[in-house]
A and B are shown apart, each in its own frame.
Chain A
Amino acid sequence: MDMDSPRTAVSNPPVQPMEPNLTERDLIARSATSRLPAPARQLTPVAKLIDVSKCIGCKACQSACIEWNDTNPVMEENVGDYTNPHDLTEDMFTLMRFTEWVNPDNDNLEWLIRKDGCMHCADPGCLKACPAPGAIVQYSNGIVDFVHENCIGCGYCVKGCPFDIPRISRVDHRAYKCTLCSDRVAVGQGPACAKACPTQAIVFGTKDDMKKHAEERITDLKSRGYDNAGLYDPPGVGGTHVMYVLHHADKPHIYAGLPDNPRISPLVQAWKGVTKYAGLAVMGLAAAGAILHGVFARPNRVRPEDEENAERLVDQAERGPREDA
């Protein structure tokens, strides 16, 4: 069996040797790189599925993420909210966002908990916006990863991202976000957060398997009265490799502002599309035109009679002050 990607986060890593995974030859996109060689093989697309209805808000995923990535988020003040730290940071790649929401249909208070983090878009806005060759890469299994040694810290990825995920470190001026544990997946292990989740609210496997699993969960939720339960795999960004099962999939925004219909902003598309290509063409043509015209066209020269006229004018004017004296 071709086991190029782990099928679950629960099992222990494979004991048999594995072919190296997620290398340069598995790239399907590389930032600021136009001629990328075709990948040598197609890895099985993977996905993380987060079932918000099964989440108990324990933050084991956050702890596991900190542990595996060896980050050290600063302790923050309690401002009367379980969300801690208060936002994603360069040291906190995933964050439980807690929302108290009153369901207008039945006046019930619902405590919505969503594990926020990189969605690993099939059409990644960060990668589109990035000006540094190879600072953002996309593997054929769907993982979008930041390559920090190529990052220049400009913050363009922040503007490209429809989910407000990347954070620029104030220490080393490089962008950070969830890697989907690419360094674990490459050796046959599932992401740390999924491995740590005590309720299996976070599961990991092939994207097809995760969609099937989501269907079962949605059927179950519907049978329990959540008529609008559904899968969040937004088509505006070509689908994502982190998906949610939402019990209110008709209104994703209630889950701490999850975008209803995310897509790369038209402003970013215009900047990275027509502006980039038309701009370069216009500047190049203007420069080439100026040089050609400068070489071949007749310059505007001052003629000897111009100098004579100026001398005459000045002579006449000079006579003026002497009359005063």
Chain B
Amino acid sequence: MTNTENFAPEDTIRPGRPVTVGRYGPVKRLNHWITAACLILLALSGLSLFHPSLFFLTGLFGGGQNTRIVHPWIGVVLFFSFFIFFVQLWRLNLPNRADVQWTAQLDDYIAGREDRLPELGKYNAGQKLIFWGMAFFIIVLIGSGLVIWDQYFGETTPIELRRAAILVHSVSAVVIILLFILHVYAAIWTRGTLRAMIRGTVTGGWAWRHHRKWLRDLAGRRRIDPAE
């Protein structure tokens, strides 16, 4: 076993017609959906205080005071759930040479001409962008969020820092919501992707089409489930 493996321990091929490939185990899927739920709740509660036209969203959380109370705590939960996710996924999201070419030929990807693109490991450059973007902005948001968490850290920092923090927090929130939209959009546009995070598996054809190197590596390492 070397540390240059291009797959995670639970990634396995299950032969059949069609082939299915395990992509995410139950722990990662649960963690992903906890993080996703937190991000959605954070976006709704944060947006309600971001623009007056969205203040009505505080009704979802039981009013303005409750929204103010609950928003930072959801952020803390998200930070830890994403942190676990990060530790599990960061290695496979390191950029490589194929990502440069993939990015340069993004138009081929969007037009569905993936045969012209290099064979990819478990993640493409777009997925890696989402991963590192989320990681970066979650750190910025938790850091700036703690500074403006008035109930516990109200007067522990100078006022100019708190003003800067709230500006950074709101700009970062806009960016992370854009990343979130891109992430959800890409997962739906690329048909067959959602089941990786729901059932944990994708079809062999999906892996062949989008992440052929990952599939080849799994096959080459004989990570084939003998029970099937």
Residues in chain A near residue B162, CB distance under 8 A: 158-159
Known A133-B52, A153-B65, A314-B13; contact A303-B150, beta-carbon cutoff 8 A? no
Instruction: Verify if B9 is at the interface (C-beta below 8 Å from A).
Output: no
In residues 143-190 of chain A, which contact B (Cβ within 8 Å)? 150-156, 158-159, 164, 168, 173
In residues 80-110 of chain A, which contact B (Cβ within 8 Å)? none
Interface residues of A: mostly helix, strand, loop or mixed? helix
CB pair B150 A307 closer than 8 Å: no
Contact with B along A32-76 (1 / 0, CB 8 A): 111000000000000000000000000000000000000000000
In angstroms, Cα B189 to Cα A301, docked, is 8
Contact with A along B162-195 (1 / 0, CB 8 A): 1110110011011001100110110011111000
CB pair A310 B167 closer than 8 Å: no
Instruction: Report the minimum CB–CB distance from A125 to chain B (whole Å).
Output: 10
Instruction: Report the minimum CB–CB distance from B59 to chain A (whole Å).
Output: 12
Residues in chain A near residue B164, CB distance under 8 A: 267
Instruction: Report the minimum CB–CB distance from B115 to chain A (whole Å).
Output: 10
Query: Which residue of B167, B173, B205 contacts A309 across the interface (Cβ within 8 Å)?
Result: B205
In angstroms, Cα B54 to Cα A298, docked, is 33
CB pair A318 B224 closer than 8 Å: yes
In angstroms, Cα B125 to Cα A298, docked, is 21
Instruction: Report the minimum CB–CB distance from A189 to chain B (whole Å).
Output: 32
Measured CB to CB, the nearest residue on chain B to A270 is B167
In angstroms, Cα B58 to Cα A78, docked, is 43
Interface window among B82-90, B133-141, B207-215? B207-215
Instruction: Verify if A320 is at the interface (C-beta below 8 Å from B).
Output: yes
Instruction: Verify if B145 is at the interface (C-beta below 8 Å from A).
Output: no
Query: Which residue of B54, B163, B177, B178 contacts A267 across the interface (Cβ within 8 Å)?
Result: B163
Known A279-B171, A310-B203, A314-B224; contact A131-B49, beta-carbon cutoff 8 A? yes
Interface residues of B: mostly helix, strand, loop or mixed? helix
CB pair A152 B68 closer than 8 Å: yes
Output the residue of A156, A297, A316 with the most chain B CB within 10 A.
A156
CB pair A294 B174 closer than 8 Å: no
Instruction: Verify if A311 is at the interface (C-beta below 8 Å from B).
Output: yes
Instruction: Report the minimum CB–CB distance from B83 to chain A (whole Å).
Output: 26
Residues in chain B near residue A10, CB distance under 8 A: none
In residues 176-215 of chain A, which contact B (Cβ within 8 Å)? none
Known A282-B174, A302-B206; contact A267-B68, beta-carbon cutoff 8 A? no
Instruction: Report the minimum CB–CB distance from A17 to chain B (whole Å).
Output: 37
Instruction: Verify if B204 is at the interface (C-beta below 8 Å from A).
Output: yes
Query: Which residue of A133, A156, A279 contacts B166 across the interface (Cβ within 8 Å)?
Result: A156
Instruction: Report the minimum CB–CB distance from A261 to chain B (whole Å).
Output: 15
Q: List 28 A-B contacts (CB under 8 A).
A: A131-B49, A150-B64, A151-B64, A152-B64, A153-B68, A153-B151, A154-B49, A159-B163, A159-B166, A268-B163, A271-B167, A276-B51, A280-B50, A282-B178, A283-B174, A286-B178, A286-B181, A293-B189, A303-B209, A307-B18, A310-B204, A310-B207, A311-B15, A311-B18, A313-B219, A314-B15, A317-B219, A320-B222
Besides the known contacts A150-B64, A158-B154, 13 further A-B residue pairs in the complex with CB atoms under 8 A apart: A152-B49, A152-B67, A158-B162, A164-B159, A265-B163, A267-B164, A275-B170, A293-B189, A294-B185, A302-B191, A306-B208, A307-B19, A310-B19
